[in-house]
Amino acid sequence: MPAKILIIDDDKNLLRVTEYNLSDVGFMVDTAAKGSIGLQKFREILPDLVITDVKLGDMSGLDVLETIKRESPDTPVIVFTAFGSIDLAVSAMQKGAFHFITKPFDREMLRQSCWKALELKTLKEQNRFLSAEVNRLTGTAGIKTASATMRELLDTAIKVAHSEATVLITGESGTGKEVLARLIHMSSHRSDKPMVAVNCAAIPESLIESELFGHVKGAFTGAIADRKGRFQAASSGTLFLDEIAELKLDMQAKLLRAIQEREVEPVGSEKRQKVDIRIVAATNTDLGHLVRKGMFREDLFYRLSVIPLHIPPLRERTEDIEQLVSHFLKQFHAPLGVHFNSEALTEMKGYDWPGNIRELQNMVERCVILRQGVAIGASDLKLKPMDTCSETEIPEIPDGGISLESIEKGLVQKALQKSGGNRSEAARLLHIPRHVLIYRIEKYGI
């Protein structure tokens, strides 16, 4: 959904021009010609960003700024004026303005200021959300757990948080790799700076370099302005690279150089920019196996895994299930007295949880919504049956031979069917990176 911007200015001509310039690049824009009307609209539409002039017909724009920052501290406010002075600019910034712009201003500069303000707001919201996730799962000593293995892992994570070493978190999907990364960030001296998360599997191959390192205006079709990458956005903080195994080899080389030299080169630029960040990477794939197959750079693997941390799957720490269930019952506001009976808990502890904590969370939510009484039993869980085969079945080779490609195609089709079309999950089932699965899908026309 496009970001909502509220513009407050008593100059109606400039108001219309500014509205056009911002709506032309996709923003949803509302306007007000008076400060009082602007504050009224602010409370009604809850914009993502406010732009106000200093001199308004009925009140000072600085008073508008103060009111907005008091009522909504995280809403960025850009202040502009035709009567610029150092004292006025200092006053606006002290009151919480994101940027102070003197009229007449360049429209591209205003757009850039809006994008930067909204990007910072998004990062703050992400940090707040993930901090809340950590706070829900942590106490003063770390994430609550009854598992000795997890306690040892968390002790190690908190110790390494005080260093600058890169960390590689491994574990199956749904085990909480990003929550652990957040704990490391919040326990480090960088905790007052942003932690920027990047899902490498979710970004198209053609855009990943720009997304990480930024680009300059004109670098490619659609690059209408300079844009900072995630490395720059994480300045002085932590960059979390999730699903790192999905990067292609050429991008791995560029990432390695950026980590080693602590500088990046935006797409289309010949100037390198210094960056001060801490790298935490994560994967649900065996990177060592990919290194041996030539699909992941060995030098990057060793650069990332200075501190390797492995989160065990939920089936290996079933002693945590009861307190996780209790936590999720509170999270989903289950009425007083609602609980899982002993038969249900026993069945949960005997299940292998392929989706790990995420699957457990979804199951608790479903049971809370569909429950018939206060006691939730084993029959209410609707857990998927576990595989009974202890080893992989190898098909017989007929006398006339068999096509290896036909077997591979069949396995890809079965994995997609079992995962409900989810490519990341299908790749996990086949123990291959997501981009390799996509290559196979395209190769066989699936």
CATH number at residue 418: 1.10.10
Q: Which of 386, 391, 359, 355 is nearest to 173 (CA)?
A: 355
Q: What is the pLDDT of residues 93-111, one digit of tens each?
A: 888 999 988 888 888 889 9
- Is 386 part of any domain? no
pLDDT of 196 reads 94
Q: What is the pLDDT of residues 222-261, one digit of tens each?
A: 788 888 899 999 989 999 999 999 999 999 999 999 999 9
- Is 135 part of any domain? no
Q: Which of 351, 369, 372 is nearest to 360 (CA)?
A: 351
Take residue 321 and report the two structure tokens written for it: 């299930």
pLDDT of 348 reads 96
Walk along the chain (446 residues) in steps of 10 and give the mean pLDDT of each run. Answer: 90 91 92 94 91 90 91 89 77 88 85 91 74 51 74 91 94 92 91 92 90 90 86 94 94 96 92 94 92 94 96 94 92 90 95 92 93 92 62 63 81 86 83 80 84
Residue 75 and residue 52 in contact, taking contact as beta carbons nearer than 8 Å: no
pLDDT of 140 reads 34
Residues 191 and 304 in one domain: yes
Query: Domain holding 375: CATH number?
Result: 1.10.8.60
Residues 88 and 149 in one domain: no
Residues of the domain holding 283 = 141-310
273 Cβ partners below 8 Å, 6+ apart?
232, 263, 264, 265, 266
Residues 372 and 409 in one domain: no
- Is 335 part of any domain? yes
Helix%, strand%, coil% for the chain, nearest 5: 50, 15, 35
Residues 277 and 376 in one domain: no
CA distance 175 to 170: 9
pLDDT of 200 reads 93
pLDDT of 392 reads 52
Asked if omega into 104 is within 30° of 0 (cis), the reply is: yes
Residues 277 and 239 in one domain: yes
Residues 160 and 297 in one domain: yes
Query: Domain holding 291: CATH number?
Result: 3.40.50.300
Q: Are strands 273-274 and 263-264 parallel, antiparallel or unpaired?
A: antiparallel
Residue 176 DSSP code: -
Residues 331 and 303 in one domain: no
162 Cβ partners below 8 Å, 6+ apart?
187, 188, 189
Tally of domains in the chain: 4
Residues 329 and 277 in one domain: no
